[in-house]
Amino acid sequence: MDELQTRILTVIERNSRVDSGELAVRLGVSEEEINSALLEMEEEGIICGYHTMIDWDRTGVEKVTALIEVRVTPQRGKGFDEIAERIYQYPEVDSVYLLSGGYDLMVILAGRSLKEVSGFVAQKLSTLDTVISTATHFILKKYKDHGTIMEKKPEDPREIVTA
């Protein structure tokens, strides 16, 4: 991982739509260097995608997100990997993390309604053999996500011209 790669990632983590020409100017290198660094990082799986951050609350589309704490029994020889895989195969599961602390897996789930999410937990997740218990938390409001504050920034508070 070289310095240029880190600098590229710092920019596109915030705005993946910056084109390589602009990246080249901003970082003071050639466009070819940018393109080959991007390609390399895509191939190595460092760049996993160019997603868009959406505040669904502003769209009127019904969407609920739940954080589910899951305690499981690890399996001999496989640890947590197999159970994690069984969970992340469901398309409605957005993220799965293995954590240290009071529970084992954090499953983030997006659904159309509370009913849909609780249905998933009751019928799919809790019924897995190795799952000991679950605790479901629904997100009521997102204040900040992926380093972005959801509330709209007020206009530039500075005086328009200063010395």
**Binding of residue 161 to another protein (CB under 8 A):** yes
Rounded least distance, CB 40 to another protein, Å: 21
**Binding of residue 158 to another protein (CB under 8 A):** yes
**Binding of residue 1 to another protein (CB under 8 A):** no
Pick the binder of another protein from 4, 9, 11, 41 (CB under 8 A): 11
In the block, residue with structure tokens 């019924």: 127
Residues 12-71 that bind another protein (CB under 8 A): 22, 25-28
DSSP 78-141: TBTHHHHHHHHTSTTEEEEEE-SSS-SEEEEEEESSHHHHHHHIIIIITTSTTEEEEEEEE---
| Rounded CA separation 43/63 (Å) | 33
Number of shown-chain residues binding another protein (CB under 8 A): 15
Residues that bind another protein (CB under 8 A): 7, 10-11, 22, 25-28, 156, 158-163
